Amino acid sequence: MFGLLESGFQFFTWGNALMLIIGAVLIYLAIGRKMEPLLLLPIGFAIMLVNLPIGGLMDYEHEIKAKKSGIVSRISVEEGRVFDKDATIVQADTGAIAAPVFGRVKEIKVKPGQQVEAGDVIAVVLTPQQTNQAEIPTKPIGLLAIFFSFGIMWQILPPLIFLCLGALTDFGPMLANPKTLLLGAAAQFGVYFAFFLSLLFGFSFNEAASIGIIGGAEGPTTIYVTAQLAPHIIGATAVACYSYMALVPLILPPVIKLLTTKKERAIYMKPTLRPVSKLEKILFPLVTTVIVILFVPASAPLIGCLMLGNLFRESGVVERLSSTAQTVFIDVMTIILTLAIGGTMVAENFLQVKTLLILVLGVVSFASAAAAGVVLAKIMNLFLKEKINPMIGGAGVSAVPMSARVVQVMGQQENKRNFLLMHAMGPNVAGAIGAAIAGGVFIGILG
């Protein structure tokens, strides 16, 4: 077993140091710049926790088994030592027995000269690596690994957060002006554009889908899809999604300005929307659930929970459930989810060229989503009697309610009489529904 007292210094790498800096930057952005603090602060802290070696918070246990019968000739990596992916752990006369993951040896189960049969466990190793469980089964033993496995991989936390978001969301502006659903749909172009680009950059289909869905600008959807399709890149996609959601005030304005004229940005929209009856608000989640899940069954966990949360809110008879979902429950879920996501960002997992590419493709996904929304709004204006301000198309990038707020601010800058917030909330919440459907489509095809 390990020594009586081990420190982390001997295992501390430059990668760990860089990750500590990244964690600290996220914490700074949360505290100093107030950027998505509910998310970036726990993610940043979790990054720091898992990059302090042998703390074991993100450890999984994996049993290395002999593939062929033979006699052990040498133990290549002693107990307590670290090793790289595919390193030889034990040498047998019939060949090397290698570890399919990086990590640290917990226990060697064989001795030199011992006969082993195919399938015998020769070593138990600890690894923070996210693996495909069908190929490399692991058992979570660290606290954050347990959060990740049972919260995210078991698909519990993202749908529950969607339930809370449903309780927080007023679909009224969208119901009052349902053509804005089309703008939310158009914004999903960004998802598929980034999917396509990712494939060109050499990512697999499952990875490309997980990268593309960043453009949906919904954290839980991104995490849900990536956990099912490409769990090994979940840290990068989640951080890209949440970071860009925080950076929407920087990403959206240049895209909108590039695609619109000053005159278009100044188009006046009446500040009041038609009143939506309570019955309509109650029927909407019921009808949407039935239609969407019949067409895209794989979206059932996300759409089902989103609409249930909204029914809590609009029914008016379960005030306690609605208020819990909007406050305490979403906070608890957020703490566990963000710690689990930050926990995946161990240096060996995160510091790869792939991560940088994912971050770049993520921003492309966001920008192209906003562009598609604006372009469709302009096309709609060719046919509409009462013109819409094309900037509200940019709010189809979900990031509720950040992108709608950005459009409101831009609208005020261009035309002081314009109050676009409620108009922009339509495509904004439609974008959230569209992203959940796009995620369901990916899972339905590739999952």
Partner 1 sequence: MVDMGLAVKIAAGGFGVVFFLLTILWITIGLTRVVAEKITKIMNK
121 lies in the site for partner 1, by CB under 8 A: no
Burial profile 267-300: b = 16 or more Cβ within 10 angstroms, e = fewer: bebeeebeebeeeebbebbeebbeebbeebebbb
Q: Min. distance of Cβ 383 from partner 1 in angstroms?
A: 14
- CA dihedral 436→438→440→443, nearest 10 degrees, is -140
288 lies in the site for partner 1, by CB under 8 A: yes
Q: Min. distance of Cβ 295 from partner 1 in angstroms?
A: 5
Nearest-angstrom CA–CA distance, 347 and 67: 30
Residues 6+ apart with CB under 8 A from 4: none
Question: 24: buried, middle or exposed (CB in 10 Å: 19+, 13-18, 0-12)?
Answer: middle
Burial profile 1-13: b = 16 or more Cβ within 10 angstroms, e = fewer: eeeeeeeeeeebe
| Residues in region 406-445 near partner 1 by CB under 8 A | 430, 433-434, 437-438, 441-442, 445
| Residues in region 178-207 near partner 1 by CB under 8 A | 178-179, 181-182, 184-186, 188-189, 191-193, 195-196, 199-200, 202, 205
Query: Using the rule CB under 8 A, which residue among 1, 134, 279, 353 binds partner 1?
Result: 279
Task: With beta carbons less than 8 A apart as the criterion, state whether 211 and 234 touch.
Answer: no
Q: Min. distance of Cβ 341 from partner 1 in angstroms?
A: 25
Residue (121 or 290) nearer to partner 1, CB? 290
Show the site string, 142-181: x = touches partner 1 by CB under 8 A, - = not: --------------------------------xx--xx-x
- CA 52, 342, 18: angle at the middle one, nearest 5? 50
Q: Min. distance of Cβ 437 from partner 1 in angstroms?
A: 5
236 lies in the site for partner 1, by CB under 8 A: no
Q: Min. distance of Cβ 135 from partner 1 in angstroms?
A: 21
**Binding segment (CB under 8 A) for partner 1, from list 100-108, 155-163, 286-294, 305-313:** 286-294
Burial profile 124-136: b = 16 or more Cβ within 10 angstroms, e = fewer: bbbbbbbbeeeeb
Residue (333 or 443) nearer to partner 1, CB? 443
Nearest-angstrom CA–CA distance, 161 and 430: 17
Sign of the CA dihedral with 346 first, then 24, 225, and 207 last: negative
End-to-end alpha-carbon separation of the chain, Å?
A: 40
Q: Min. distance of Cβ 330 from partner 1 in angstroms?
A: 25
Task: With beta carbons less than 8 A apart as the criterion, state whether 122 and 116 touch.
Answer: yes
**Binding segment (CB under 8 A) for partner 1, from list 49-57, 247-255, 278-286, 348-356:** 278-286
Residue (141 or 283) nearer to partner 1, CB? 283
Residue (10 or 277) nearer to partner 1, CB? 277
| Residues in region 295-334 near partner 1 by CB under 8 A | 295-296
Task: With beta carbons less than 8 A apart as the criterion, state whether 84 and 98 touch.
Answer: no
360 lies in the site for partner 1, by CB under 8 A: no
Residue (26 or 437) nearer to partner 1, CB? 437
Nearest-angstrom CA–CA distance, 240 and 248: 12
Task: With beta carbons less than 8 A apart as the criterion, state whether 52 and 16 touch.
Answer: yes
277 lies in the site for partner 1, by CB under 8 A: yes
Q: Would you tell me which residues interact with partner 1 (CB under 8 A)?
A: 174-175, 178-179, 181-182, 184-186, 188-189, 191-193, 195-196, 199-200, 202, 205, 208-209, 277, 279-280, 283-284, 287-288, 291-292, 295-296, 430, 433-434, 437-438, 441-442, 445-446
